[in-house]
Structure 1
């Protein structure tokens, strides 16, 4: 029906209309304007009436079409009498302005001033400012949605809906800024059409129909005034509706409830009644009228007070029934209560809530955001948001970190204390709660803030509690990075690379390497701390590696020589010497024979030999870590992968490289050579080895 109606409106401007159709359309115009006004009054939010700009355009075109059609009738048939243009125009011309065209002109001018100067101008200004501020506020609203999503306050679906609502709001106010110009133009057009009708009617009546000037003025001006008022009244209603929409504040109530709830205050009506009563006592005033309104204001104050008392009683009753409702709710188990799809989550005991409370300037959330940004930059993909929630099942100062549903770390922090780590020159023992540092397992002590100066004077490093938790989280995110990347994340990386290198992405994924295989390759690289930020190099390398006998582990191993420099530059600045640990030739040959014998079973060593090997590696790595240097071990390429799986199960931070992965532009030194054998089994069987391992420092 709408396309047909638009065509009818256009036809009305060209084709002459019978008088009864003209009356019908005038009534439709008034009904439509009243309907739009009533809907505007009963909307809760401006977006609830998002079709309003379209209705303004349609209603404006309808009025203009009626003006054209009525002008044609007035000018062509106005000499025949007051009912020439229909009953509606006649009624407005005779009854509303009492048949006096001078009064009609002044009434019409006043209506135009009210509509054009007051309502339309104000509504247009509000629309313009609202559109500007809405567009300026969009980035902040988007950031707030992202922050709520990262904090776990809303689900991804809710965040998507909120983003769409923000976009719709910007589009709506932008449309209203333009639609308000329709209303203003309509008012101006009405004034011009009135002038044209009056001048044209006088000319036609005097020149063509030989009417006296007074008779022509009485006939044509009354018809023109009636025609103008018939169009101006709906225009005024639409202007009021526009002003209501653009000044509306979003709430859960319509306009009447919104205003009534805020105006219905006994403490406002009581002084109002008192002032009106005093004015009613002034001599010369219409005392009875003032007393009547004073009584009405006093009655309004009385009923407002009763309503306030009832609301307070209902609030007390709800508070008393709260415990019973909680007991009822606790018997209901919902799926949302037992499922949590957050990739990373942190549970806090109630004693740690102050660290995330914005009212208490809790710094933990901002630190976690910084940690996510730093770890994401280092690993090459966006770490998922950390969902923080309180957990009454934990001890007051306990926190717990989960990757998926797996608990990967937990410890205790004291928000009213600070963690002091002893340095090399710390000879004085500081009084406090002795613990192990959750990130590195070092001896530490929780001290009170007033002990900080004493601790720093004795070569202690003092750390804030939020830094302790965020550092622990950073370590766990790096350690479990392979568990945080999924196929959706990999696809997002491919989409971003596809903008710069579309042909590369299309030729590799999924033609040569399926998405799930690429995900497994990236997970394998991340499990050994290899950044995947250079995805272009990874895809180019995979294009030369795809074969029938290569699985994800073999692909990742073949890609390592090109990607290891990214890891080394993170753990050791360019220009510094890399400290390396190696295996003695005897031990390395033993492992080579073991790998050949066991094949896919990996590295299998006799129990005492494995224990001595790990003890020797651990001692050397602790010495390097204490000196602030990276722990890197270099082995033969044939055993690197199985040896890395064996060692990293016990020492996760150890970096295992092959000789072929060492960068040519870095200076190295052999810090330690692990393994010295007095005897080997005749067939190289690991169980026949009876010698002990020892560390032989050797710097070159």
Structure 2
């Protein structure tokens, strides 16, 4: 973890004064100056590359990352990076932390490759009491939202912690608020963090234990970019790439027949079927599933065949009703304490998964080909038009 933080309020005031002076200076043309006889030319080393992951903080949050002031956030972030890397199967890039005087004093923002993916304003001298859905009273404090999941919350004094917990609230400190927000963004966008360098490192590590499997794979069987796309497809649907040996075996077998990354992804998912189902439903033999009405499936298949998967467009009324029915079925499953799993024909799986990805994130979409033989299917809902 890299840290570029100004130390103390004195440094901040100096920088503020400097910024004000610069604003005044740019209001009028600068005075003519003599050009040095030997001025160094601009080189590539003068251009700073964008950070894959960045955390920018307002000046009042600096103590959170300053160990000399008791800050623990850096330690928390290191732990998050380690856990996510182990869970997903590839090394997440370091998090670059720096102060940003353009932010409000108690604000922060999380960036990926220079683009802001999350931001919030917090209260470092308070704790966040989050409403998990059922509480038994109201709290005195500053109302807000949990930045990671959007849950209603209240910023309370630390002395109110036990009272808030007794009322059913989940109470966390500011380190946890930021760390949880960062963790969610990294997991949601893990596929964007997997570059070709990371893919090559995965292959190099695999070659140490299974050299014949990797030998001749790139570029004879599939280019590195093709392997990257398959791995990104898996990560985008929350499938870890830890079992890289099984994944590469599936890629090698399918790529010979069809080098299309989408077709390879489908075959790879079948090879990982036990892992995928266990990830969404545990080790239980009973698998509760939601299905689509055959008439609706036929309409969807005809639409995909006519327009292609990338450009499939449903009639607005049909899309709205299908989405509504799927959402209601998923909510009923969540209320019953069971996993929400929609099982469809293989030709529909990718399109439907993308259709509901952001609006019904808790609904897992599998194809019938991905159900292991040792699972007992139990249909809990059938969704029609």
Fold shared per TM-score above 0.5: yes
> Contact conserved, 1:432 with 1:448, CA < 8 A, in 2?
yes
Q: Which residue of 2 aligns with 1:391?
A: 100
Q: Within the alignment, does 1:573 sit opposite 2:282 as a pair?
A: yes
RMSD: 3.1
Contact 2:129 2:154 in 1 (8 A): yes
1:445 corresponds to 2:154: yes
1:148-227 equivalences in 2 (<5 Å) = 150-152=1-3
Q: Give the whole-Å Cα distance in 1 for the aligned partners of 2:344 and 2:379.
A: 12
Closer/same/farther in 2, CA of residues 604 and 438 from structure 1, 3 Å limit: same
2:221, 2:256 within 8 Å by CA — same for their partners in 1? no
Q: Give the 3-state SS of the residue equivalent to 1:392 in structure 2.
A: coil
Cα gap change, 1:386/1:325 in structure 2, threshold over 3 Å: closer, same or farther?
closer
Change (3 A) 1:375 1:653: farther
* Residue of structure 2 equivalent to 1:478: 187
Q: Within 2, Cα distance between the matches of 1:349 and 1:337? A: 26
Taking the aligned partners of 1:665 and 1:370, their CA distance within structure 2 comes to 36
- The 1-side partners of 2:65 and 2:45 are apart by 23
Distance 1:566 1:413 in 2: 39
Kept in 2: contact 1:400–1:411 (CA 8 A): yes
**Equivalent residue number for residue 550 of structure 1:** 259
Contact 1:354/1:415 (<8 A) preserved? no
Is the Cα contact below 8 Å between 1:530 and 1:563 reproduced in 2? Answer: no
Secondary structure of 1:560's aligned partner:
helix
Question: Equivalent residue of 1:643, what SS?
Answer: helix
- Shift in Å, 1:649: 4.5
Asked if the contact 1:531–1:563 (Cα under 8 Å) also holds between the matched residues in 2, the reply is no
The offset of 1:543, in angstroms, is 2.0
SS in 2 for 1:444: strand
Q: What secondary structure does 1:408 align onto?
A: strand
Is the CA contact 1:616–1:674 (under 8 Å) kept in the aligned structure 2?
yes
Question: Tell me, what secondary structure is at the counterpart of 2:148?
Answer: coil
Distance 1:603 1:358, change over 3 A: same
Residue 222 of structure 2 contacts residue 259 of structure 2 at CA under 8 Å; is this kept in 1? no
Structure with the higher fraction of residues in helix conformation: 1
- Structure 1: distance between partners of 2:72 and 2:334: 29
Distance 1:324 1:443 in 2: 40
> Which stretch of the first structure deviates more once superposed, 633-642 or 549-558?
549-558
Whether 1:673 and 2:382 are equivalent positions in the alignment is yes
Specify which of 63, 69, 80 is matched with residue 371 of structure 1: 80
- Does the CA contact (< 8 Å) of 1:603 and 1:643 recur in 2? no
Matching residue of 2:271: 562
2: CA distance between counterparts of 1:573 and 1:378? Answer: 16
1:656 aligns with 2:362: no
Contact 2:60 2:106 in 1 (8 A): yes
Q: Residues 258-273 of structure 1 correspond to what in structure 2 (within 5 A)? A: none
SS for the counterpart of 1:538 is: helix
* Aligned residue in 1 for 2:250: 541
The match for 1:687 is none
Structure holding more strand per residue: 2
Partner SS state of residue 367, structure 1: helix
- Residue 439 (structure 1) shift: 2.1
* Secondary structure class of the residue paired with 2:255: coil
1:526, 1:578 → 2: CA distance? 23
Residues 1:592 and 2:268 aligned together: no
Q: Which residue in the other structure is 1:607 paired with?
A: 316
1:644 aligns with: 353
Query: What displacement does 1:351 show?
Result: 2.5
Kindly report which structure 2 residues correspond to 1:394-543, keeping only aligned pairs within 5 A, or say none: 394-423=103-132, 425-543=134-252
In the other structure, the counterpart of 1:90 is none
Contact map agreement 1:520 1:552 (CA 8 A) in 2: yes
Per-residue CA deviations over 1:320-347 (Å, capped at 9, x if unaligned) read 9x97799589989998897442111111
Q: 1:599: how far off?
A: 2.3
> 1 CA distance for matches of 2:58 and 2:334?
32
The answer as to 2:325 corresponding to 1:631 is no
CA contact (8 A) 1:538 1:559 kept: yes
Gaps of at least 5 residues in structure 1 are 1-149, 155-319, 678-700
Q: Distance in 1 between matches of 2:381 and 2:114?
A: 40
Residues 462 and 502 (structure 1), Cα distance of their counterparts in 2 relative to 1, 3 Å cut = same
Describe the shift of the 1:424–1:654 C-alpha distance in structure 2 as closer, same or farther (beyond 3 A): closer
Deviation at 1:491, TM superposition (A): 0.8
Kept in 2: contact 1:498–1:504 (CA 8 A):
yes
1:424 Cα shift? 5.5
- State the 1:631 CA deviation: 3.2
- The equivalent of 1:275 in structure 2 is none
Q: In the TM superposition, what is the alpha-carbon distance from 1:360 to its structure 2 partner?
A: 2.4
Please, which runs of 5 or more residues in structure 2 have no aligned partner?
6-13, 31-41
The answer to whether the 8 A contact 1:529-1:567 is kept is no
Paired position in structure 1 for 2:39 = none
CA contact (8 A) 1:542 1:559 kept: yes
Larger relative contact order, structure 1 or 2 (CA cutoff 8 Å, min sep 6) = 2
**How far did residue 445 of structure 1 move?**
1.7
Indicate conservation of the 8 Å contact 1:582/1:635, yes or no: yes
Alpha-carbon distance in structure 2 between the residues aligned to 1:576 and 1:367: 37
**CA shift at 1:498, angstroms?**
1.0
SS at 2:254 equivalent: coil
CA gap 1:477/1:323 in 2 versus in 1, 3 angstroms: closer
| CA apart distance, 1:392 | 1.4
Q: Is the contact between residue 346 and residue 367 of structure 2 (CA under 8 Å) also seen in structure 1?
A: yes
Task: Give distance in 1, aligned partners of 2:182 and 2:85.
Answer: 13
Q: Tell me which moved more, 431-440 or 571-580.
A: 571-580
Question: What is the SS of the residue equivalent to 2:221?
Answer: coil
Displacement of 1:591 in angstroms is: 0.8
Equivalent residue pairs, number: 362
Q: Secondary structure at the match of 1:533?
A: coil
Distance 2:142 2:275 in 1: 40
The alpha-carbon deviation at position 609 of structure 1 amounts to 2.0
